[in-house]
Amino acid sequence: MQIDKLRGEQLDQLFDAILTLKDREECYRFFDDIATMSEIHAISQRLQVAKMLTEGRTYTVIEQETNASTATISRVRRCINYGSEGYKMVLDRLIDEEK
């Protein structure tokens, strides 16, 4: 995993902090303080791109609907195909919650 390069006490503390959040409103409050609007937008955009890619949408449609660059779409595609299956895990859980 790429993130192994960052693994350590600081990243553990961040993830532990995220795991303490109880609901969407707490997420809004925490991420408003910890990240810039651009950082939050980029992360949420990548998740939307991943969702659309797994649904079989084309790069053109994804680019038009999300305003993501083709470079971002390609990077997300690479993570889906060769990554740690984080997108798959989260998207599967979101689908299960919708049922």
Report the C-alpha gap between 61 and 42 in whole angstroms. Answer: 18
Report the C-alpha gap between 27 and 33 in whole angstroms. Answer: 10
Within 10 A of 30 (CB to CB), how many other CB atoms are there? 14
Report the C-alpha gap between 61 and 83 in whole angstroms. Answer: 23
Per-residue pLDDT tens for 5-64? Answer: 889 999 999 999 999 999 999 999 999 999 999 999 999 999 999 999 999 999 999 999
Confidence of residue 4 (pLDDT cuts 50, 70, 90): confident
Q: What is the pTM of this model?
A: 0.90
